[in-house]
Amino acid sequence: MKVARTIKEVREQVTEWKKQGLTVGLVPTMGYLHEGHASLVDKAVSMCDRVVASDFVNPTQFGPNEDLESYPRDFEHDCRLLEEHGCDMVFYPSVDEMYPDGGGKTDTYVEILDDMPKQLCGKTRPIHFRGVCTVVAKLFNIVLPDKAFFGQKDAQQLAIIKRMVRDMSYGIEIVGCPIVREEDGLAKSSRNTYLNEEERKAALVLSKAVFAGKKMVQDGERSADKLVEAMKEIISKEPMAKIDYVSAVSGRDMSTLKVLEGEILVAMAVYIGKTRLIDNFMMEVEK
């Protein structure tokens, strides 16, 4: 597996692959990789001739007092996982390589101006999706992939990236991949490493609420308010849990639902101690 630290190296290698008529898949990550990321690489390998993963903790998507400095990093581990799963090149740039003005800042952003980024996680992380769109747009321009692969655990991010690709006329297919969970149900996340043993047990309340909510919809519940209240009640029984939000929204544009119909996304963010975790389920509900 090739390790590229500069934009020039990535472009030269991708140009060579394209000359050979090969398709290229991109898996954007912030490193500290786990089985969820591995599943994205596996999917990319199955659909593309060559696969590039980025490994970059993007400063523009972190707000003040968020965990940019403490975000876990282990590039050697990341390389082993990527190589084991068939990745052909990892792009591991410095902050200055991605943001040449220095300090991890830029004067040029890509931003969706409707309400999509203001819902769910965007309510308490107002600059987050601007930073996500900007870094993903940069990665698309650097790698020029045919397909890009994102996890459905970050369902709002996935929907926003799809909108950006449509609006900006990128000729890239966005492939969403299912949530990967621990054996006990907890959604895999790099932030799970922040949890101590007691918090790790408490964190299971997220998946418990998700599974219960999904069953309610499958059993015929169509009131979004009743569904959300039932899920909140489950979470509130865990003393270590503090709800940021639990919401039922349209999976297409993140607008709040009253009636559960069409493509729905039921998503949550919950603090377990100081660690903010997210989980969700998506369903197509007949009208």
Beta strands at 262-272 and 275-285: parallel, antiparallel or unpaired: antiparallel
Buried/exposed 230-244: b ≥16 CB within 10 Å, e otherwise: bbbebbeebeebeeb
- Cα–Cα distance measured from residue 31 to residue 28, given in angstroms and rounded to the nearest whole number: 9
Smallest CA-to-CA distance from 173 within 153, 154, 156, 150 is with: 150
Residues 6+ apart with CB under 8 A from 99: 59, 60, 105, 106
Catalytic residue numbers read 37
Tokens of 216: 């309610």
- Cα–Cα distance measured from residue 42 to residue 74, given in angstroms and rounded to the nearest whole number: 20
